[in-house]
Amino acid sequence: MDSNNTKTRRPDIADFDSASDFLFEMYMHLKKNGGFSLRKRCREVDSFSQAFVSQVLNRQRNITPKNLPFFAELFFLTPQEKERIAEHISSRPRGGGKSLHLLKNWFNPYVMALAEVRGFSADSPTIERMLGGLLNKNSIEKSIDFLFTEGFWKKSLNGQVTLDPSLRSHDQATSSFIVERFHQRALDIAKRGIDTHPSSQRKNLTVLLSVNQEEWTALSQEIELFERRLNELAARPTTDADQLLQVSIHSTPISVSTKKKGS
| Cα 62 from Cα 66, distance rounded (Å) | 11
What is the number of residues in the chain?
Answer: 263
Pick the CATH number of 3-90 from 1.10.260, 1.10.10, 1.10.3470, 1.20.1630: 1.10.260
Q: Give the span between the Cα atoms of 64 and 62, in whole angstroms.
A: 6
Residue 125 to residues 105, 138, 141, 219, Cα–Cα distance (Å): 20, 11, 10, 43
Least confident interval from 82-86, 94-98, 123-127, 158-162: 94-98
- The 3-state DSSP class for residue 254 equals coil
**What values do phi and psi take at 91, rounded to 5?**
-90, 0
Pair 110, 135: CB distance under 8 Å: yes
Q: What percent of the chain has pLDDT over 70?
A: 85
Lowest mean per-residue pLDDT among 174-178, 195-199, 202-206, 243-247: 174-178
Give residue 233's pLDDT: 84
Distances (CA, A) of 74 to 26, 39, 54, 225: 10, 11, 12, 46
DSSP string, 23-45: HHHHHHHHHHHH---HHHHHHHH
Residue 76, pLDDT > 90, answer yes
Handedness of CA 140, 146, 149, 151 (dihedral sign): negative
For residue 102, pLDDT over 90 is answered with no
When computed from its CA atoms, the radius of gyration of the chain, rounded to whole angstroms, is 22
Give the per-residue pLDDT at 250. 87
Q: Residue 66 and residue 74: Cα distance in Å, rounded? A: 14
Note the pTM of the prediction, 2 decimals: 0.59
| Segments of the chain assigned to CATH 1.10.260 | 3-90
Between 190 and 231, residue with greater pLDDT: 190
Q: How far apart are CA 256 and CA 259, in angstroms?
A: 9
Of the ranges 101-110, 127-136, 149-158, the best mean pLDDT one? 127-136
pLDDT at 178: 72
Does the structure show a pLDDT above 60 at 140? Answer: yes
- Residue 200's Cβ-count burial label (10 Å; 0-12, 13-18, 19+) is exposed
Provide φ and ψ at 163, rounded to 5°.
Answer: -90, 150
CA triplet 221, 227, 229: central angle to 5 degrees?
110
